Amino acid sequence: MPATPFSCSYLILQPRFNSYFNPLFRSFTYQLSTSPLSFNGIKFTAARVHSSLSPAAETDSQSGGGGRSGALSPGPIVAGEVQRIDVNPPKGTRDFPPEEMRLRNWLFNNFKEVSRLYGFEEVDFPVLENEALFTRKAGEEIKDQLYCFEDRGNRRVALRPELTPSLARLVIQKGKSVPLPLKWFTVGQCWRYERMTRGRRREHYQWNMDIIGVPGVMAEAELISSIVTLFKRIGIKESDVGFKVSSRKVLQEVLKCYSIPESLFGKVCVIIDKIEKIPVDEVKKELMAAGVSQEAVEELLQVLSVKSLTGLEEKLGSSGKAIADLKQLFSLAEKFGYSEWIQFDASVVRGLAYYTGIVFEGFDREGKLRAICGGGRYDHLFSTFGADDIPACGFGFGDAVVVELLREKGLLPDLSLQMDYIVCALDEDLQGAAAMVAHVLRKKGQSVDLVLESKPLKWVFKRAARNNAQRLVLVGSSEWQRGVVGVKILATGEQYEVKLDELI
Ligand code: HAM
């Protein structure tokens, strides 16, 4: 069957230009029409499209949405030879059409530039890892959210839900060939089968910075400083966000008083982290089921409500490592110049089992969003993978919550498409000449939208306006014979002729 030319009036794809910009999107009902078209060997059915904002789509958009609105993803529907596809990405995932890609690149460039300013080297790992890398036994939520499956070689694999285990794997693999301390950063996609809420989705990108091989608090202080630098670069102030800081050593000291074995530590922290998500009585029950005495549970919960370092000192005494570390961090924060960004809050524990020391989370001061970023010290992760321990700390900073915050504050940057030139042949015979003009300009670093077909001038001007092109070059036959082209500065309307080799 011959392919039918693509017709806009027949196949209208869902206008989802907004998982970053505006979470509102529409879902559509389809009516089959008659003409199939083929593309890259797949047959599509051109469908007349009727839009209707479905309640499910509204729910998704309110919750940060993206992806399909239905709970189950239907497979392709095959009617005769025609395969009708669902044009939405899977629930909780995003497409990045150009305007969203520009925002993503802007954000990632800021992540990368801050990492460069702090002297970090970029690394990356595969999105697909061996499942065993993530199957810790502390009852963390992240393990239940794993996208995991058996590959064709019967290996258990998983899409990474976070980057830290991969980083640890690579550090172990490199062994002594890399000099410590390592300062590594990465920006990568992570997958978690999450309950969708605002800023939480099933795939997200995380910017991570990690320092491997530094046992002292200077490392944490440097990491928090880098996040503050990022916030400032993108226009977020200390009146918008702050960091809640604590240390897991606080809990360790309480547990030690009640002779609770070290081996329970990670598990207890993971249970305690649920305090704001499930009723306190449930948390108490889980703690006792894990082997923590009722007395110790009450003491732990009391300590977690402390909101000042002096209050903590009153509870734990002033001699412990937790207090010493935290005091040093607050003192360093003054030297780094970000004291007003951080506050002590004993309730910050974090939901990952591997943290051992200082932990921190970035939060919006209006309390509308989930954590913007989080991290801490994880000095014993390496030994859980069978290697020698190396002191380490780092953070993860997602791409979704910060964009919600920027939108809330009216701080989204204006990232409209920009083009230096649009180049158009006035005659079909001059298309080769127009290509030469584009080539000359591109060699000089100018971005050029070359008009690839014969089009009326009205169309060319409309396209130039859409692309925010600065200049229009018209290649006409009499000018070309004289070795010149016509240039129009689109903002002012000024026109002039210029020789090909004098174009800039
Ligand atoms: P995490 O707190 O699980 O830590 O995630 C870090 C950040 O990633 C969160 O604060 C949030 O910005 C973002 N994030 C996490 N899950 C989602 C989601 N479902 N949708 C959107 N954004 C999300 C970690 O992953 C640690 N591995 C961080 C770390 C690095 N610690 C030391 N080094």
Please report which helix (H) or strand (E) contains residue 477, including its range.
Answer: helix 477-481
Q: Where are the alpha helices (DSSP H) in 34-97?
A: 55-62
Band the pLDDT of 276: cuts 50, 70, 90. Answer: confident
* Mean pLDDT value of segment 231-235: 98
Write out pLDDT tens, residues 288-327. 999 999 999 999 999 999 999 999 999 888 889 999 999 9
Gap from CA of 395 to ligand 1 centroid (Å) = 8
Residue 209 CB less than 6 A away from ligand 1: no
Report the pLDDT value the prediction gives residue 262, as an integer from 0 to 100.
Answer: 86
Residue 395 CB less than 6 A away from ligand 1: yes
The residue among 247 and 259 whose pLDDT is bigger is 247
Gap from CA of 163 to ligand 1 centroid (Å) = 9
Gap from CA of 272 to ligand 1 centroid (Å) = 18
Gap from CA of 247 to ligand 1 centroid (Å) = 18
| Residue 100, CA distances (Å) to 16, 127, 419, 420, 490 in order | 10, 22, 17, 21, 26
Structure tokens at 267: 């598990």
Gap from CA of 185 to ligand 1 centroid (Å) = 14
Q: Which of 65, 70, 52, 56 is nearest to 18 (CA)?
A: 65
C-alpha span between 430 and 311 (Å, rounded): 80
For atom 4 of ligand 1, the residue with the nearest CA is 396
Give the contacts of 128 (CB within 8 A, at least 6 positions apart): 157, 158, 159, 160
C-alpha span between 98 and 455 (Å, rounded): 24
* Mean pLDDT value of segment 216-238: 98
Provide the percentage of residues in the chain whose pLDDT is more than 90.
77
**Beta pairing, strands 342-344 & 241-247:** parallel
The residue among 20 and 213 whose pLDDT is bigger is 213
Write out pLDDT tens, residues 344-393. 999 999 999 999 999 999 999 999 999 999 999 999 999 999 999 999 99
For atom 18 of ligand 1, the residue with the nearest CA is 200
C-alpha span between 277 and 64 (Å, rounded): 19
For atom 10 of ligand 1, the residue with the nearest CA is 373
HSE, CB side, 13 Å, CA atoms: give it for residue 285: 5
Taking all residues of the chain, what is their mean pLDDT, rounded to a whole number? 87
Look at residue 71 and tell me whether its pLDDT is greater than 70: no
Please report which helix (H) or strand (E) contains residue 255, including its range.
Answer: helix 248-257
Look at residue 422 and tell me whether its pLDDT is greater than 70: yes
- Residue keyed to tokens 């709970």: 71
Residue 476 CB less than 6 A away from ligand 1: no
Look at residue 37 and tell me whether its pLDDT is greater than 90: no
Residue 488 CB less than 6 A away from ligand 1: no
C-alpha span between 122 and 209 (Å, rounded): 9
Q: Where are the alpha helices (DSSP H) in 396-455?
A: 400-408, 431-443
Report the pLDDT value the prediction gives residue 20, as an integer from 0 to 100.
Answer: 58
Gap from CA of 398 to ligand 1 centroid (Å) = 6
Q: Where are the alpha helices (DSSP H) in 273-308?
A: 280-289, 294-304
**Strand, coil or helix: what is 439?**
helix
Gap from CA of 192 to ligand 1 centroid (Å) = 10
Look at residue 26 and tell me whether its pLDDT is greater than 60: no
Residue 164 CB less than 6 A away from ligand 1: yes
Q: Among 71-80, 178-187, 455-464, whose mean pLDDT is lowest?
A: 71-80
Residue 398 CB less than 6 A away from ligand 1: yes
For atom 13 of ligand 1, the residue with the nearest CA is 398
